[in-house]
Chains A and B, each alone.
Chain A
Amino acid sequence: MSDYTAEEMMSVEAARALAGRRSCFVGIGLPSTAANLARRVHAPELVLIYESGAIGAKPTRLPLSIGDGELALTADAVVSVPEVFNYWLQPGRIDVGFLSAAQLDRHGNLNTTIVGGDYAHPRVRLPGSGGAPEIAASCREVFIMVRHGLRTFVERVDFVTSVGYGDGYDSREKLGLRGRGPVRVVTDIAVLEPDPVSRELVLTRVHPGVEVADVKAATGWDLKVADEVAVTEPPTDEELAVLRRLVEAS
């Protein structure tokens, strides 16, 4: 087994989660890396959908933006932006929405809008929502991929850009969101999954070499831990080789 970085472990583990899924609405950055790795190794038939209107994109290298030319040139269909949101996302046709965020809380609510201050006078103005609120609402399931740390895993997000489980329990259903919500959070050190009743994120898996205490220390709330915490399989040589080729080509 070759050496690998925490970042590579995260991409590989997130890609594995896409095995058996048919379609994925891909956010840019970390999710795009994982989704493109999955299409090469774990889910060859996976349909990648980018909000720029590329449906079934098959890029040969990682796109920098969600609208790089290669996405359209390799797509099964190219549609307008109103169409991608209205006809494809909104009715719940897409299996997995794959998102990242600057902050998330124990119920998987995501913030990509502001950090600190208030909305009118933020300390840091982030890019904002883009497609995320409706991806989080309407995909059948949501996967989240973020680097673990106290700045990201916070007690309260400074702004709810995209809803996970709201205040927990049945609050997502009460809000009228139709997709199931975030079923998995993959980080560079662990995997969290929601408790089936309270919908609070629970530590279910650590990556090799990581202790439960490390994950708790990197989480800004009192993280619940599953009775049995599994250890993630390290990346295979094939997974690493394909991932590195992807990253190097971009």
Chain B
Amino acid sequence: MAELVELAEGIAELVRDGDTVAMEGFTHLIPVRAAQEVIRARRRDLTLVRMTPDIVYDQLIGAGCARRLVFAWGGNPGVGSLHRLRDAVENGWPAPLELEEHSHAGMANRYVAGASGLPFAVLRGYLGTDLAKHTDTIKTITCPFTGEELAAVPAINPDVTVVHAQRADRQGNVQLWGLVGVQKEAVLAARRSLVTVEEVVESLDPVPDAVVLPSWVVTAVAVAPGGARPSYAQGYYERDNDAYRAWDAVSRDRDQFLAWLEESVYSAASA
């Protein structure tokens, strides 16, 4: 059964130095508060896994928490570059960052394999691309029935997956809806999981197309209202597009970023 915890306590307990950590949420429900708690806990040498690193991983990378990034699309959606990610790759600042680069289809299938207890997934993908030349975790396999050659990618089984959801009940059952991305797969693929929620409610009334993560597949639930900002939580608040635009200037310059980090993360009260 999922335990209801304080966010700082949950992060301290579940996210450890050197872990492979997946923080998912495809544009929607990105666990930004939880990630900033990881920065505050000064975790190091993490392998960060995420389909779209987004500003959430830009912050973790700039803060020096990451050793390796497993991803498919590392931009600031609709705005441009992730400058901390670029600085790490292009200049090794604040530390060199190893890349393991896939496509969205490949990443999604890696999580599916992880959630399914399979060693790898099969897809039609990567044909003719240079990705297959540079990424060791892209191989081919011959279909035993048709002889067709297909792409094979290994399962992702994170040490810990962190996601944000709209709500949970007191038993720790979690409910999320809207664009549900790859969160169910990422949680089921992980050894441990932490879910931050907007609120804890007495009972989870049904919502169309909702995903429910039963309490017994979740390790811990922490209440973090607004925990997905500046991304959004459908039914609670909208995506703060201006904040995404503003991040471009903050992240472009190392000193500005470090000032932001000091003021908004290290000096800010723990969640």
Contact = CB atoms under 8 A, between A and B. Distances in A.
B129 interface: yes
B158 to A, nearest CB: 16
Given A81-B181, A82-B182, A129-B73, A175 B130 contact: no
Interface string B118-139: 0000011111111100100000
B128 A130 contact: no
A108 B92 CA distance: 33
A86 B108 contact: yes
A166 B127 CA distance: 10
A80 B184 contact: yes
B109 interface: yes
A163 B211 CA distance: 35
B27 to A, nearest CB: 2
B26 A133 contact: no
Contacts of B86: 124-125
Contact of B104 (A129, A137, A138): A129
A134 B74 contact: no
A242 interface: no
Interface string A76-107: 00101110011001100000000000000000
B185 A52 contact: no
Contacts of B178: 69, 72-73, 78
B148 to A, nearest CB: 8
Contacts of B271: none
B108 A130 contact: no
Interface residues of B, number: 55
B256 interface: no
B131 A133 contact: yes
A159 B73 contact: no
A166 B129 CA distance: 9
B81 to A, nearest CB: 7
B263 interface: no
B12 to A, nearest CB: 30
A45 B57 CA distance: 38
A43 to B, nearest CB: 23
Interface stretch (A15-23, A60-68, A143-151, A182-190): A60-68
Size bin of chain A's contact surface:
35 or more
Contact of B90 (A52, A122, A129, A131): A122
A163 B77 contact: no
B27 A52 contact: yes
A131 to B, nearest CB: 4
Nearest to B148: A176
B179 A78 contact: yes
B55 to A, nearest CB: 11
A246 to B, nearest CB: 15
Contacts of B75: 126-128
A219 interface: no
Given A64-B241, A137-B124, A161-B131, A124 B90 contact: yes
Interface in B104-121: 104-105, 108-109, 111-112
A29 B26 contact: no
A52 B179 contact: yes
Interface stretch (B31-39, B162-170, B218-226, B232-240): B232-240
Contacts of A178: 124
B198 to A, nearest CB: 14
A53 B74 contact: no
Contact of A69 (B28, B81, B103, B124): B28
> Most chain-B CB neighbours within 10 Å: which of A51, A138, A172?
A51
B149 interface: yes
A134 B181 contact: no
20 contacts: A52-B28, A52-B181, A65-B27, A65-B77, A65-B239, A65-B244, A67-B239, A72-B234, A80-B182, A81-B26, A85-B109, A90-B124, A125-B89, A127-B73, A129-B129, A131-B103, A134-B103, A137-B124, A163-B128, A172-B128
Given A51-B104, A113-B130, A162-B129, 9 more contacts: A52-B179, A64-B78, A65-B244, A68-B27, A82-B109, A85-B105, A122-B90, A127-B81, A133-B129
4 closest pairs, A vs B, by CB? A67-B27, A127-B75, A130-B73, A65-B77
